[in-house]
Amino acid sequence: MSKFLVTGGAGFIGGHLTEALLDEGHEVVVVDDESAESSEKFNWFEESHNYKFSILEKDRLEEIFKKGIDYVVHLAAETKIAITIENPEKCYKTNVMGTMNVLELSRKYNVKRVVAASTSAVYGMSPPPHTEDQECDCLNPYASSKICNEELGKLYFRLYDLEVVCFRFFNVYGERMPTTGFYAPVIAIFDRQKRAGQEMTITGDGEQKRDFIYVKDIVGGILAAVHAPRAQVGGKVFNLGSGKNYSVNQIAKMLEGEYTYIPARVGDARETLADIDRAKHALNWYPKVELSTWMSSFNRKRK
């Protein structure tokens, strides 16, 4: 078994990944400063080694690397879009310099591979389907900082031979998903509104489409990247989405409730749709859970 460091490991995706790694018998170290504004609760597990501090605290982070780490999954980031616009310096400090700390310590202590989270937000208003070679269209400092991280990953692979692979996550949903904040999936927001006895609020005409990907399929992609041959992943970027998309109107109808329309959000992408051929071919990864099937089960559990 291997020893993993998961930054941001107490969050939504990180919690599911940590749980999966523990189930496989791996030793897991989690670093999370609980700063994610979208999380109502954080997912700490007694079986993992848990540390609450920021990835900017390089000295504390180095103490963990000194004890030996085989693989790093880097999920920690500043994702509060409004704050990144108001204070881009904080965004770049956390996301770029924090990532630099992780990569530099991984290089120094001979980590076998680093898997880092990027985002589909880098595509902005670019037309779908979104391919990894498509020109990016960053609409905020968060997306821009993630492009910086991708370039850092490529640099560390080429210059220092550190195996780094980056994933652009699309709209992730599933158990324990956040219900507030910019990156809360619309499914969770609608469910929260329904539980509060409110109508679901649809922005604009509701025909904007999103590629939704189940959180455990995301975990499967990360694990596939950990075990893939070096030539398949080193210095590369992959989309992780379902390859299908649904309109917000369709999601509201799946949840079987009353809804109303509110003004559209400025700068909201009209459509996201992941081209996942690269992940299929390089990682032999395929999403296993269909949104409509999961939603049917979700509805039954809510009644």
pTM above 0.85, yes or no: yes
**Greatest pairwise CA separation for the chain in angstroms:** 56
What pLDDT is recorded for position 41? Answer: 76
**pLDDT tens per residue across span 100-137:** 999 999 999 999 999 999 999 999 999 999 999 999 99
Is 210 exposed, middle or buried (CB count within 10 Å of its CB: 0-12, 13-18, 19+)? buried
Confidence of residue 267 (pLDDT cuts 50, 70, 90): low
Residue 196 has pLDDT above 60, yes or no: yes
What pLDDT is recorded for position 181? Answer: 67
DSSP string, 158-209: HHH---EEEEEE-EEESTT---SSTTS-HHHHHHHHHHTT--EEEETTS--E
Residue type for position 92: Y
Asked if residues 123 and 130 have their Cβ atoms less than 8 Å apart, the reply is yes
Rounded average pLDDT over 245-262 = 94
φ and ψ at residue 208, rounded to 5 degrees: -65, 140
Residue 237 has pLDDT above 90, yes or no: yes
**pLDDT tens per residue across span 35-92:** 875 555 799 999 999 999 999 999 999 999 999 999 999 999 988 777 788 889 999 9
Residue type for position 286: Y
Confidence of residue 175 (pLDDT cuts 50, 70, 90): very high
Asked if residues 4 and 71 have their Cβ atoms less than 8 Å apart, the reply is yes
Region of poorest pLDDT, from 92-96, 269-273, 296-300? 296-300
What CA–CA distances, in Å, run from 113 to 5, 50, 100, 132? 11, 21, 15, 21
**Where would I find the H helices in 199-269?**
215-227, 230-233, 248-254
Q: Strand 164-169 and strand 113-119: pairing?
A: parallel
Rounded average pLDDT over 239-244 = 98
The residues assigned a catalytic role are 142
Rounded average pLDDT over 196-212 = 95
Region of poorest pLDDT, from 85-89, 259-263, 287-291? 85-89
Q: Strand 259-262 and strand 212-214: pairing?
A: unpaired
Domains (ranges, CATH) in the chain?
A: 3-171+214-240 (3.40.50.720), 174-211+243-269+288-297 (3.90.25.10)
**Helix or strand holding residue 212 (H, E):** strand 212-214
- ∠268-273-279 over CA atoms, to 5°? 135
209, β-bridge pairs? 247, 271
Residue 213 has pLDDT above 90, yes or no: yes
User: Rounded distance, CA 249 to CA 202, Å?
Assistant: 7
Per the prediction, the chain carries an average pLDDT of 94
What pLDDT is recorded for position 81? Answer: 75
What pLDDT is recorded for position 303? Answer: 62
Buried b (16+ CB within 10 A) or exposed e, 21-55: bbeeebbbbbbbbeebbbbeebbebeebebbeebb
Confidence of residue 269 (pLDDT cuts 50, 70, 90): confident
What pLDDT is recorded for position 58? Answer: 98
